[in-house]
Amino acid sequence: MYRRHRLTAVFMGIDTHQESVVYMREDCHVCRAEGFNASSRIAVEYAGQQLIASLNVVTPAALPEQHIGFSRIALQKLKIEPGAQVTVGHAPIIASLSAVRKKIYGHALSDVEMNSIIADIATHRYRDIEVASFLSVCAGQRLSLDEIIALTRAMVACGERLTWPTHKRIFDKHCIGGLPGNRTTPLVVAIVSAAGLVIPKTSSRAITSPAGTADTMETLTNVSLSLDALRDVVTRTGACLAWGGAVNLSPADDLLIRIERALDLDGEGQLIASVLSKKIAAGSTHVLIDIPVGDTAKVRTLSDAERLVDLFAQVSNALGLQLRCVISDGSRPIGRGIGPVEEARDVLAVLQCQPEAPQDLRARAIALAAELLDLANGEGLAAAEKQAADIVDSGRAWAQFQRILTAQGGIKPLPHARQQDLQLATASGVVRAIDNRRLARLAKLAGAPADVAAGLRLHANVGDAITVGAPLFTLLTDSPGEREYALDYYRENLNMFDIGALV
């Protein structure tokens, strides 16, 4: 930017997600002088901060003279208020893009190159097409083991990192991809921290599912903890159940995941780096990975799962992490509730040992907690499983869960959805299968996760015998529009529940 053009910032009221966009008039002297057009990359500076943004050119009616419009993310990234004076010029050349081109042309990336790419992505210096280009040439099995290790390290390096000087062993768990209702994390954290393990758990919000662990926990307590608050909670209770986004542990990851999902890319290297970088950034030393395998789960075959287990082992070994993978049944939804509040109800029912608590959720949580306890103590799975079950049955898990939530700011009562529509079975027989993906879509159409009380409550699951007219599930909605919309979808997709004679 060898010459400085000053313009006044204004918010355009437009949400362009993670890609910063600025808007300038087609007759703006700056556009003409700089030769900007509708696909230019622009550098905007304010108070010593620089933002790289894409330009959209607008008609004079859309913007006053001498003004420059900002999308929401552009305003946020530059940390300015509308009315501020900014300077505008051509975006600088992003040096790490030459490393991306190197990878495009088939050459392996060094640690330094991987680091420079991820650092630039994390600071929003890439446009979406550049992130897409990078991900595409890293997808499939195009990253070597060394590159996956470099990518993991780079993703750790560009974010915050927690340290736990007073604890030698820090535990964590992660589940690969999505069975509706499979909300084991709050249970596992309560059980193993009641047993004395330190587990500062940070979780994400839903990306494509009806609820993430952070969404579910937010219906019960405050999950937006600062780094200091998070440390304080863990010091007092040995655990936390926080939203990872608030502590900025792996800022590149969110940006990569968004484009990866949009392109429907399954990069195994990217997946491993994404998971492990967050664990390392959280200061974890011992990590359990749950890999559900099923036709409508994220990992669909046993051989895919085994390949993943092998790579996880090699990368975590290189990075000094103790890691254990569990391959689990991913063929059916877990628990009864789907959606933030309904999943929280299931979690509470298990912790409080209510007679109607979903036993499949309880069993999975105890099994995973046992794996972590065995990883910690090495006394064998049978003993660990008995210990985990005792912690639940004795009420110690529930007491510990309350302690964690109290430390995070208190326990909130769960709201109820305004509309409840009971749906009845349209056939008699056995529930032979439930389509996890369409079930998740139904819960999202009902309003989850934005409407926290919206979602579903299942009254039957795979394997249950059912007669026509018996309760199948309850649809929970907060607005009449969404209620109608979800019901329409369900009526056209009745076969998401496969009910009939067992063959």
Residues that bind its own copies (CB under 8 A): 2-3, 12-17, 23, 26, 29, 32-35, 37-39, 56-59, 61-62, 71, 97, 101, 104-106, 127-133, 135-137, 139-142, 258-259, 262-265, 444-445, 447, 450, 479, 481-482, 485, 488-489, 492
Q: Residue 221 and residue 347: Cα distance in Å, rounded?
A: 13
Least separation in angstroms between CB 91 and its own copies: 12
Which of 277, 47, 295, 266 lies closest to 160 in space, CA to CA?
A: 277
* Closer Cβ to its own copies, 105 or 503, answer by number: 105
Q: Residue 29 and residue 5: Cα distance in Å, rounded?
A: 9
The DSSP result for 239-295, as a single string, is: EEEEEGGGTTS-HHHHHHHHHHHHHT---HHHHHHHHHHHHHHTT-SEEEEEEEE-T
Backbone angles phi, psi at 396, to 5 degrees: -70, -30
* Closer Cβ to its own copies, 257 or 363, answer by number: 257
* Closer Cβ to its own copies, 393 or 484, answer by number: 484
Half-sphere CA count of 145, side-chain side, radius 13 A? 12
* Closer Cβ to its own copies, 346 or 482, answer by number: 482
Both tokens of residue 194?
């009641």
Helix (H) or strand (E) holding 45, with range, is strand 41-46
CB neighbour list of residue 168: distance below 8 Å, 6 or more residues apart = 285
Buried b (16+ CB within 10 A) or exposed e, 216-246: bbbbbbbbebeeebbbebbeebbbbbbbbbb
Q: Residue 115 and residue 291: Cα distance in Å, rounded?
A: 28
Least separation in angstroms between CB 367 and its own copies: 33
* Closer Cβ to its own copies, 8 or 235, answer by number: 8
* Closer Cβ to its own copies, 131 or 247, answer by number: 131
Residue labelled with tokens 């990075």: 319
Which of 81, 76, 33 lies closest to 53 in space, CA to CA?
A: 76
* Closer Cβ to its own copies, 446 or 460, answer by number: 446
Least separation in angstroms between CB 32 and its own copies: 6
Does residue 27 have an active-site annotation? no
Least separation in angstroms between CB 435 and its own copies: 16
Of 232, 266, 304, 390, catalytic = 266
Q: Please report, for residues 32, 42, 350, the alpha-carbon distance to residue 57 in angstroms, rounded to integers and kept in the order given.
A: 11, 12, 56
**Interstrand relation of 429-434 and 465-466 (parallel, antiparallel or unpaired):** antiparallel
Identify whether 449 is preceded by a cis peptide bond (ω within 30 of 0): yes
Both tokens of residue 316?
């975590």
Both tokens of residue 45?
């500076």
The angle formed by the CA atoms of residues 200, 201 and 207, to the nearest 5 degrees, is: 155
Which of 429, 498, 423, 434 lies closest to 467 in space, CA to CA?
A: 429
Least separation in angstroms between CB 257 and its own copies: 11
* Closer Cβ to its own copies, 134 or 171, answer by number: 134
Least separation in angstroms between CB 349 and its own copies: 28
Q: Annotated catalytic sites, by residue? A: 266
